[in-house]
Amino acid sequence: MMRYLSARLAQQIDEELMSSAGAFSLDQLMELAGLACAQAVAAVYRKDVYPRVLICCGPGNQGGDGLVAARHLGMFGYQPTIYMPKPGSKVIYQRLQKQCENMKIPVLPPSNDVDDLRKALHDSDVILDAIFGFSFKPPIRFPFDTVLPLLNQSRLPIVSVDIPSGWDVEKGNDLGVGLQPNVLISLTAPKQGVKDYTGRHFLGGRFVPKSLEERFELHLPHYPDSAQIVELDSESSMHKY
């Protein structure tokens, strides 16, 4: 019976992972999370059919995961493009962006105009949504109140990271303004707001120590072999609390 997390509990586990209980740095967690996201894209959307991936990044840690995923997708042989309407200001974010630029991954210039986004959507095969994380609280503010409808209207397949952008971490898409992803890659453990999600659902972030898993009664599934993701089947999806 896998546990679905509230916002408070998700934040607490993140803090524990970066304390002596986990002893991870933020860089390490982002690297592992972003690798898992890239693997999820590759597991569902083959590069010979869906080579062009538009990675939409917010200014927080979720966006950092997206930048890591962009770098790995480039290494996997995809053609990633990064869209950041509001780039993050932290040093770690800027370093991750520089790593992508060093790989010659195109980055759309920040702008309040969505013309570049419209063109990028026309030239893309799949979207990786790394805009908002589990700390998001409605309402959606500018410029993302314009961005999210465009992503939904594009009719491109969407892969969302951890929680679909625009969804409340506990109440889901009650307001009806969030993205409608085809694939969701939950990190660490799924969040309460996605308990009724019906698309393909993966779990990623193969970094939770057994001690924390047992302490918080997460009941995480086993990851196969060396994979950084595991697909959640209908049986595991039925056990949510």
CATH architecture of 7-234: 3-Layer(aba) Sandwich (3.40)
**Binding annotation for (6S)-NADPHX:** 61-65, 133-139, 162
Taking CA atoms, 44 is separated from 49, 50, 124, 138, 143, in Å, by 11, 10, 16, 30, 29
Question: Which pLDDT score is estimated for 239?
Answer: 35
Strands of 126-130's sheet in order across: 107-108, 79-83, 52-57, 126-130, 158-161, 183-187, 200-204, 229-231
**Binding annotation for K(+):** 62, 129, 165
Tell me the backbone φ, ψ of residue 195, rounded to 5 degrees: -65, -25
Q: How crowded is residue 158: how many other Cβ atoms within 10 Å of its Cβ?
A: 23
With residue 83 as reference, give the H or E element that holds it: strand 79-83
Which burial class, exposed, middle or buried, applies to 190 when counting CB atoms under 10 A from its CB (0-12, 13-18, 19+)?
Answer: buried
Q: What is the pLDDT of residues 178-230, one digit of tens each?
A: 999 999 999 999 999 999 999 999 999 899 999 999 999 999 999 999 999 99
Q: What is the pLDDT of residues 55-83, one digit of tens each?
A: 999 999 999 999 999 999 999 999 999 99
How much is the pTM?
Answer: 0.94
**Binding annotation:** 61-65, 129, 133-139, 162, 165
